[in-house]
């Protein structure tokens, strides 16, 4: 059975990206390899909409989140951490792991953060930074990055944003908004293989990092990455084959054009949401803040995770993501990011209708698919 | 021009390993992927000669060194750090980066550590651990791991060993010697793509790690890796394509047999050293402690790095490693590890004779190659 993955990363990769990884190894301290890294930096600055440095870290997106926090804080430092999902709530854990004091701004899962609550948390604190997950993969919510960046700037704090599932699929105006450290990962909207984390860092953040005598870390100290960047290299042996894959993936993005790519993601997301509603399913995320890269859907009453995800997997070889932590077994999630196109999505939605019908879910068969068709083909 | 790399990692990869990386992505939290990880763990335990857990970290070998140190120490802890090369001397930097106090045991580059000097350093300290680089890639020296492990055990300290360029090429008896945390990397003797670091951890070390309330780190906290290991998974999204490559590489090692593989490395190293001496060149490392995976050679008087490495690269597409830090421009290094075989080595040595002859080096042409032939073919 042909396997298809619609999880919010790792995503399916274009054949060119897969094949790029199989190129022979080369010395990682050679002008030829430095030139490949330079191509990657150019492409990364393009998707990040930044003119600043982008650290390329061999590690997952979490490695880049760790690098951002640990390079910026010292033990005892307060950090305002916006919650609302598994990844937003990972930041306070990282802050604590480095001896910092997280000030949580709790957000109900599925809802977007209210900026005024962040302002209140900031007002009563001496925090050095605010952290937020831009696109919360665990809930399908896109938070208002611009508003939070403004609050950070006005209060002389750094804004560390996890944009792991937004950069390359959503409009992320790193420089214009003033995101001081903007993190992403290779295996999401960039459609590159997993194993690389990125951090776009502006001068405001570099000043803090380079003057932070109390920071803890070696492999993930961003200062080392900056030193190496100036010599067109990385501080430690990079994952050469993943860099080959990244270069190929970034070249595909350049060919599509970032604006087209963001519009494609938006259209797929709208089609997904409309189809889901037409299937008599409920969306988990607040529709005003719905993500364009991942959609979370409530498992309808009477059905189980196994009825939906289990059957899609066993009958059609399709892998969707389940709910995590507090919503485990209550939602399922469709990643419609990276290289997913209209035909992929229509196939998936049709298969979803079959398993829902078989499980006895009450809906008009065909309604989901036709809703998506209407949106995708402007019918 | 066909390119050949004889650097001490990244190494050239077998076609099967290169191709393995191009397999389609799969969900990293699925039974199918867990089974691939289990195969990797089996293979890693085999090369490590251990029954214990092996953490698979997406990151370089340095990431695993960082993980070992940062998981074990708290701020203020003393650690005895054996020097003698770039990588051994990286440990005190990591210790300092986490607020620990390194107690350096300096070793002249090219020489092996004298265990009695470690005993003296240990005696006057309250160190919690001893660190050492087993095979010092920067100098071509193999240190006596067994002796240092014994000292650590007798003094109730942990022994953290960087075996990045020994595991898979040298005899590394992790369990028998009692190496508490034994670190390696994918891109050296294992002949897998770069980007994965490994740490074999025994129960003695797990006890320290799990009771270390003062540790600093999140992505590189080994405790998370252990928790995930028990569920046949990794704590963060792994580099899926590198895991595919690793599996293929470990399968090749199993087919060759570890003992055969170690003997092959030893034979290639002896042939290299004998050839080098027959070319009227001087070895940099103490011959009693010569590495079997990398050989460092002094650039002869009157010749430059460019005469040797530069010409090998420009005329033959061969990349050797140069000297690092204090020996930059004074030595060059041949990595004869991983998949390198007799024919590869004979070709390289013959090309080396050509560039030496062209540069006016005084030696009997053919002497190096015939010395290697004698050793390799038992002539």
Query: Does residue A325 fall inside a structural domain?
Result: yes
Are residues A215 and A356 both part of a single domain? no
Are residues A139 and A229 both part of a single domain? yes
Are residues A174 and A264 both part of a single domain? no
Number of domains in chain B: 2
Name the residue range of residue A228's domain.
15-255
In chain B, which residue's Cα lies nearest the Cα of A213? Answer: B97
pLDDT for res A306: 98
Contact B22 A19 (CB under 8 A): yes
Q: What is the mean pLDDT of residues B362-374?
A: 98
Whether B205 has a pLDDT exceeding 90, the answer reads yes
Are residues A281 and A205 both part of a single domain? no
Of A208, A234, A255, which residue sits at a domain end? Answer: A255
Q: How many Cα neighbours within 13 Å face the side chain of A110?
A: 17
Q: Are A98 and A75 in contact (CB under 8 A)?
A: yes
Q: ω before A10 within 30° of 0 (cis)?
A: yes
pLDDT band at A298 (very low <50, low <70, confident <90, very high): very high
Q: Across all residues in chain A, what is the average pLDDT? A: 98
Percentage of chain A beyond pLDDT 70 is: 100
Are residues A97 and A42 both part of a single domain? yes
Nearest to B246 by CA among B15, B20, B31, B48: B20
Query: Does residue A89 fall inside a structural domain?
Result: yes
Q: What are phi and psi of B212, to 5 degrees?
A: -90, 95
Which contiguous run of DSSP H or E holds residue B116? helix B115-123
Gap between the Cα atoms of A256 and A263, Å rounded: 11
Whether A378 has a pLDDT exceeding 90, the answer reads no
pLDDT for res B182: 98
Q: How far is A12 from chain B (nearest CA, A)?
A: 6
pLDDT for res B292: 98
- For A65-111, how does the pLDDT look when each residue is reduced to its tens digit (9 = 90+)? 999 999 999 999 999 999 999 999 999 999 999 999 999 999 999 99
Query: Does residue B312 fall inside a structural domain?
Result: yes
Report DSSP state, residue A198: E
Looking up residue B321, the CATH number of its domain turns out to be: 3.90.1150.10
Q: From the candidates B27, B237, B244, which should be mutated to test the interface with A, based on the most A CB atoms within 10 A?
A: B237
Set of chain B residues whose Cβ sits within 8 Å of the Cβ of A11: 25
Query: Does residue B6 fall inside a structural domain?
Result: no
Q: What are phi and psi of A147, to 5 degrees?
A: -65, -40
Contact A28 B10 (CB under 8 A): yes
Give the burial class of B363: count Cβ atoms within 10 A of its Cβ; 0-12 exposed, 13-18 middle, 19 or more buried: middle
Are residues B154 and B300 both part of a single domain? no
Query: In this structure, how many other beta carbons lie within 10 angstroms of the beta carbon of residue B35?
Result: 11
Contact B60 A10 (CB under 8 A): no
Q: From the candidates A18, A25, A26, A245, which should be mutated to test the interface with B, based on the most B CB atoms within 10 A?
A: A25
Are residues A300 and A196 both part of a single domain? no
Query: Does residue B315 fall inside a structural domain?
Result: yes
Which contiguous run of DSSP H or E holds residue B199? strand B196-201
What's the distance, CA B124 to chain centroid?
30
- Degrees (nearest 5) of the Cα angle B297, B5, B61? 85
Q: Are B216 and B98 in contact (CB under 8 A)?
A: yes
Query: Does residue B4 fall inside a structural domain?
Result: no
What's the distance, CA A173 to chain centroid?
14
Q: How far is A374 from chain B (nearest CA, A)?
A: 31
Set of chain B residues whose Cβ sits within 8 Å of the Cβ of A239: 58, 193-195, 239, 242
Q: How far is B157 from chain A (nearest CA, A)?
A: 22
Contact A25 B12 (CB under 8 A): yes
Q: Are B309 and B332 in contact (CB under 8 A)?
A: yes
Q: Are A7 and A321 in contact (CB under 8 A)?
A: yes
Minimum-distance CB partner of B59 among A10, A27, A219 = A219
Are residues B62 and B169 both part of a single domain? yes
Per-position DSSP letters for A214-252, written without gaps between them: T---STT-HHHHHHHHTTTS-SS---HHHHHHHHHHHHH
pLDDT band at B184 (very low <50, low <70, confident <90, very high): very high
Gap between the Cα atoms of B253 and B304, Å rounded: 38
List C-alpha distances in Å: A12 to A4, A6, A150, A320, B26.
Answer: 8, 8, 36, 12, 8
Q: Are A12 and B33 in contact (CB under 8 A)?
A: no
Minimum-distance CB partner of A239 among B194, B217, B319 = B194
Of B237, B255, B273, which residue sits at a domain end? Answer: B255
Q: What is the mean pLDDT of residues B266-291?
A: 98
pLDDT for res B121: 98
Gap between the Cα atoms of B209 and B203, Å rounded: 10
Q: What is the mean pLDDT of residues B52-58?
A: 98
Nearest to B95 by CA among B181, B5, B215, B243: B215
Set of chain B residues whose Cβ sits within 8 Å of the Cβ of A24: 3, 12-13, 18
Q: From the candidates A18, A89, A219, which should be mutated to test the interface with B, based on the most B CB atoms within 10 A?
A: A219
Report DSSP state, residue B308: I
Nearest to B171 by CA among B276, B47, B69: B47
Minimum-distance CB partner of A218 among B94, B187, B319 = B94
List C-alpha distances in Å: B44 to A362, B39, B50.
Answer: 51, 9, 8
Contact B60 A58 (CB under 8 A): yes
pLDDT band at A379 (very low <50, low <70, confident <90, very high): confident
Residues in chain A: 379
Contact B236 A97 (CB under 8 A): no
Whether B378 has a pLDDT exceeding 90, the answer reads no
Are residues B302 and B163 both part of a single domain? no
The four Cα atoms A259, A260, A263, A265 give a dihedral, to 10 degrees, of: -110
Gap between the Cα atoms of A33 and B304, Å rounded: 24
Gap between the Cα atoms of B275 and B347, Å rounded: 12
Q: What are phi and psi of B197, to 5 degrees?
A: -115, 150
**CA torsion sign, A363 to A365 to A369 to A372?**
negative
Query: In this structure, how many other beta carbons lie within 10 angstroms of the beta carbon of residue B153?
Result: 16
Contact A63 B59 (CB under 8 A): yes
Which residues contact residue B198 at a Cβ distance below 8 angstroms, ignoring those fewer than 6 apart? B44, B48, B54, B55, B56, B57, B64, B167, B183, B184, B185, B186
Are residues A318 and A354 both part of a single domain? yes
Q: What is the mean pLDDT of residues A128-132?
A: 98
Percentage of chain B beyond pLDDT 90 is: 99
Taking the model in full, what pTM does it have?
A: 0.98
Whether A318 has a pLDDT exceeding 90, the answer reads yes
Query: In this structure, how many other beta carbons lie within 10 angstroms of the beta carbon of residue B14?
Result: 16
Query: Does residue B8 fall inside a structural domain?
Result: no
Q: How far is A107 from chain B (nearest CA, A)?
A: 23
Contact A25 B19 (CB under 8 A): no
Are residues A313 and A302 both part of a single domain? yes
Whether A124 has a pLDDT exceeding 90, the answer reads no
Are residues A228 and A282 both part of a single domain? no
What's the distance, CA A27 to chain centroid?
31
Set of chain B residues whose Cβ sits within 8 Å of the Cβ of A18: 21-24, 241
Query: In this structure, how many other beta carbons lie within 10 angstroms of the beta carbon of residue B305?
Result: 16
Task: Give the number of beta-carbon pairs within 8 Å between A and B.
Answer: 199
- For A206-228, how does the pLDDT look when each residue is reduced to its tens digit (9 = 90+)? 999 999 999 999 999 999 999 99
Q: How far is B116 from chain A (nearest CA, A)?
A: 30
Q: How far is A358 from chain B (nearest CA, A)?
A: 24
Contact A193 B97 (CB under 8 A): no
Q: What is the mean pLDDT of residues A279-299?
A: 98
Q: Which long-range contacts (CB under 8 A, 24 or more apart) does A104-107 make?
A: A105/A80, A105/A81, A107/A82, A107/A83
Query: In this structure, how many other beta carbons lie within 10 angstroms of the beta carbon of residue A31?
Result: 8
Q: From the candidates A71, A72, A236, which should be mutated to test the interface with B, based on the most B CB atoms within 10 A?
A: A236
Set of chain A residues whose Cβ sits within 8 Å of the Cβ of B59: 58-59, 63, 219, 236
**ipTM, 2 dp:** 0.97
Contact B24 A13 (CB under 8 A): yes
- For A142-199, how does the pLDDT look when each residue is reduced to its tens digit (9 = 90+)? 999 999 999 999 999 999 999 999 999 999 999 999 999 999 999 999 999 999 999 9
Of B255, B285, B315, which residue sits at a domain end? Answer: B255
Looking up residue A235, the CATH number of its domain turns out to be: 3.40.640.10
Per-position DSSP letters for A265-285, written without gaps between them: HHHHHHHHHHHHHHTT--BSS
Helical H runs in chain A?
A: 15-20, 31-48, 61-72, 90-97, 115-123, 145-154, 174-177, 203-210, 222-229, 240-256, 258-278, 305, 311-316, 342-358, 367-377
Q: Are A204 and A156 in contact (CB under 8 A)?
A: no
pLDDT for res B259: 98
In chain A, which residue's Cα lies nearest the Cα of B63? Answer: A219
Q: What is the mean pLDDT of residues A303-330?
A: 97
Contact B241 A28 (CB under 8 A): no
Query: Does residue B2 fall inside a structural domain?
Result: no
Gap between the Cα atoms of A49 and A73, Å rounded: 26
Give the burial class of B343: count Cβ atoms within 10 A of its Cβ; 0-12 exposed, 13-18 middle, 19 or more buried: exposed
pLDDT band at A363 (very low <50, low <70, confident <90, very high): very high
pLDDT for res B96: 98
pLDDT for res B2: 94
């Amino acid at each position: 059975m042909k396997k298809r993955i619609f999880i919010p990363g790792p995503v399916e990769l274009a054949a060119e990206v897969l094949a790029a990884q199989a190129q022979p190894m080369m010395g990682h301290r050679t002008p030829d390899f430095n030139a490949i890294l330079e191509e990657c930096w150019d492409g990364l600055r393009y998707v990040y909409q930044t003119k600043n440095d982008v650290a390329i870290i061999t590690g997952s997106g979490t490695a880049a989140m760790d690098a951002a926090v640990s390079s910026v804080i010292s033990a005892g430092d307060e950090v305002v951490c916006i919650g609302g999902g598994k990844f937003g709530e990972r930041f306070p854990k990282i802050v604590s792991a480095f001896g910092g004091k997280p000030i949580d701004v709790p957000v109900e899962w599925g809802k977007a953060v209210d900026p005024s609550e962040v302002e209140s948390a900031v007002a009563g604190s001496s925090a050095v930074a605010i952290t937020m997950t831009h696109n919360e993969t665990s809930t399908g919510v896109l938070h208002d990055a611009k508003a939070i960046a403004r609050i950070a700037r006005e209060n002389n704090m750094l804004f560390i944003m996890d944009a792991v599932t937004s950069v390359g699929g959503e409009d992320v105006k790193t420089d214009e908004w003033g995101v001081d450290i903007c993190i992403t990962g290779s295996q999401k909207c960039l459609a590159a293989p997993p194993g690389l984390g990125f951090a776009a860092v502006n001068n405001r953040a570099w000043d803090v990092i380079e003057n932070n005598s109390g920071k803890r870390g070696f492999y993930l100290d961003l200062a080392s990455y900056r030193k190496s960047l100036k010599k067109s290299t990385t501080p430690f042996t990079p994952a050469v084959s993943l860099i080959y894959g990244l270069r190929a993936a970034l070249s595909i993005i350049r060919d599509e054009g970032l604006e087209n790519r963001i519009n494609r993601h938006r259209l797929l997301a709208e089609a997904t949401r409309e189809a889901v509603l037409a299937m008599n399913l409920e969306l988990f995320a607040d529709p005003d803040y719905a993500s364009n890269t991942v959609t979370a859907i409530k498992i309808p009453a009477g059905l189980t995770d196994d009825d939906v995800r289990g059957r899609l997997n066993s009958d059609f070889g399709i892998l969707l993501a389940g709910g995590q932590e507090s919503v485990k077994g209550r939602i399922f999630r469709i990643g419609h990011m990276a290289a997913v196109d209209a035909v992929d999505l229509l196939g998936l939605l049709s298969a979803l209708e079959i398993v829902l019908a078989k499980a006895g879910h009450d809906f008009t068969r065909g309604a989901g698919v036709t809703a998506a068709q209407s949106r995708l083909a402007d019918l």
